[in-house]
Amino acid sequence: MKAVSYQQSGISSLLGPDRMATGLLLLVNSTFFLAVLLSKNEAFPFFAAKTLPGLAAGEWWRLITAGYLHIYPMHILMNMMSLYNLGPIAEEMFGTRRMFTIWTVSTIGGFLLSAIWTQAPSLGASAGIFGLMGAMIAAGVMSRHPYAKYLQKQLLINAGIGFFIGSLPMFPIDNAAHLGGMIGGFATAWVANFPRPFDDAREKLWSLLAIVSLALTIYAFYEVAMKLNQAAVRL
């Protein structure tokens, strides 16, 4: 496994092509937040958040779109800070294709478990963020590198703190989405393993999975756009 330093997770690491997924995730999440904030349009969250009635009606795309949506400034600030810190490290470890696939699977898995666990609506990028944590914890299991072991220990502590805070009644935190995301990230990273440039067939497979993840995400937001258009026509 390639060694990564914390210094590599700074702004310079987001400028190169090997940090594309992290940079785009930061940009897309922030853009959607500003769009909702400035337009004061509650229809977008209504059609994009994870809700049981929506999922029961077959609106599967909510399992993806909910992971790109925030309403409160503190919510997106905390999530984007976490993504800014963790994303470059995960992308360095697993590569852009695996990292984005891990993010997508974690987001879907997180909100799927949330839908099973609770009837409350939920949204936010934290399912994907906990998925990155799960993936790097898996890296610590798979690798003998001291850095991976150190990072695994730190992330287990941070995840424990996060679950504890999420269990406190004064915080409306979706621990089920966090748990589902972490499980999804761990499992995907375990299957993906680290990039193997000499294994062309395996790398092509993860390229395909990343394309499928991107296509599903784009189509999910297309469905939301169609719902918004239909609502506007009815008005």
Return left, alpha or beta for 225; rule: phi > 0 is left, psi -120 to 50 is alpha, else beta: alpha
Catalytic residue (choose from 9, 106, 122, 126):
126
DSSP-assigned letters across all residues of 177-191:
HHHHHHHHHHHHHHH
Return the beta strands (E) in the chain as ranges.
none
Whether 126 sits among the annotated catalytic residues: the reply is yes
Which residue among the candidates 9, 82, 106, 178 is catalytic per the annotation?
A: 178
First to last CA, the chain: 56
Question: Residue 26: which residues within 8 A CB-CB, separation 6 or more?
Answer: 14, 80, 83, 84, 87
**Among the listed residues 71, 192, 68, 52, the one whose alpha carbon sits nearest the alpha carbon of residue 125:** 68
**Which residues form the catalytic set?**
126, 178
